Amino acid sequence: MVQFPYEIAEDTRPRLGLITLQVDETIEEDFRRMIPQDKARLHVTRVPSGAELTPDTIAAMADDLPQSAALLPPAARFSVVAYGCTSGTTLIGAARVQALVAASVTTEAVTNPLTAALTAIRALGLSRVGIVSPYIPSVAAPIRAAFETAGIAVPDMIGFGEEIEARVARIAPASICAAATALASQAPLDAVFLSCTNLRTLEVIPTLEEQLGLPVLSSNQVLGWHMAGLAGLAVADLAVPGVLGKKAAQH
C-alpha cells in the first residue's frame, strides 16, 4: 500500500459535550434541534443509570460520572460539557458535578440543567416559578428546595409520581400541557418550569406560553441555551423555543 500525504484541517466550530443518562431518550434529539450543526459540534456520552430514578440510583451515578466524561473524544478541547440530569444535579450537587466532570475531560466550562435553569430565571427577571416534575416526591422535592435556596419562590409544584424512566420518556405532551395548565391555575406565577431532560417538552413550549401568558422553561431548553452562551454562540444562531430563545444566553 502506498502511503499518501495528507494535511491536517482543524474544525473551528465550538465543541459541546453532553453526558446524558443511559435511559434518556429525549435530550440528544432536542439538542440537535436547538443547536444547528453548522454552528457547533455536539459529542454525546452516556452515564449508567438505573431503570428507576430514585435517590439511590442518582447517588450511584456520581461514581460513574468521571468515567463517562472521559469517554468524550480525548483529543477535543471542549467549550462546555454538560451533565444532562436535573434531579441528578440537585441530589449530587452542582459543585460536585462540576468537579467530577472537569477532572476527566478538557473543557472551558461545565454546566447542568439546575444551574442553567437558575441562570435563565435570573436572565428573564422571574421570581415566582411553578414546577412540573414527572417524578416521585423524594426525587422532585429537592428541585423545589434548590430553587428556594437560590431565592426563587416556588408557590406550587405538580408531579406525575413516576419512577420508571422508560415511562417518563413516553409521557404524552398533552399530559405535560394539562399539568402545566393546572399548575398555573393554582397560584400566581411568573413562569412554569418543566423539569426533567427525558420529558418531551420542547414542542409544547410555544403553545403553553401562548395559552398561559407566561414564560415556560424546560430542562433541555435552558441547558441548550446556557451551553450555547458559554460557548459564545449568538442567540440568533439557535433554535431555542419560547421567550428564552429571544434572550441573549448568559454565562
pLDDT of residue 220: 98
pLDDT of residue 113: 98
List, in sequence order, every beta strand (DSSP E) within 157-220: 157-162, 191-194, 216-218
pLDDT of residue 250: 65
Quote the distance between the C-alpha of residue 97 and its chain's center.
Answer: 14
Task: Determine which of 51-55, 120-124, 201-205, 222-226 has the lowest per-residue pLDDT on average.
Answer: 51-55
Q: Residue 45, exposed/middle/buried by CB under 10 A (0-12, 13-18, 19+)?
A: middle
**Stronger pLDDT, 52 or 95, i.e. the higher one:** 95
Q: Are 251 and 130 contacting, i.e. CB atoms less than 8 angstroms apart?
A: no
pLDDT, tens only, 10-63 = 999 999 999 999 999 999 999 999 999 999 999 999 999 877 777 888 878 899
What totals of helices (H) and strands (E) does the chain contain, helices first? Answer: 10, 8
Instruction: Centre a 10 Å sphere on the Cβ of residue 229 and count the other Cβ atoms it contains.
Output: 24
pLDDT of residue 249: 75
Task: Determine which of 54-58, 83-87, 149-153 has the lowest per-residue pLDDT on average.
Answer: 54-58
Percent residues over pLDDT 90 in the chain: 88
Task: Report whether pLDDT(195) > 90.
Answer: yes
pLDDT of residue 248: 81
Sorting pLDDT into bands at 50, 70 and 90, what band is 79?
very high
pLDDT of residue 210: 97
Task: Report whether pLDDT(8) > 90.
Answer: yes
pLDDT, tens only, 96-105 = 999 999 999 9
pLDDT of residue 49: 87
**Stronger pLDDT, 165 or 84, i.e. the higher one:** 84
CA dist., res. 66 & res. 8, Å (int): 30
Amino acid identity for residue 63 in this structure: D
Cell readout for 161 is: 409520581
* Plot region of 46 (φ>0 → left; ψ -120 to 50 → alpha; else → beta): beta
Q: Find the mean pLDDT for residues 223-243.
A: 95
SS3 131: strand
Task: Report whether pLDDT(81) > 80.
Answer: yes
All residues at 6 or more sequence positions from 1 whose CB lies less than 8 Å from its CB, including other chains = none
Alpha-helix residue ranges (DSSP H) falling in 188-244: 205-212, 219-230
Q: Find the mean pLDDT for residues 71-77.
A: 95
pLDDT of residue 251: 60
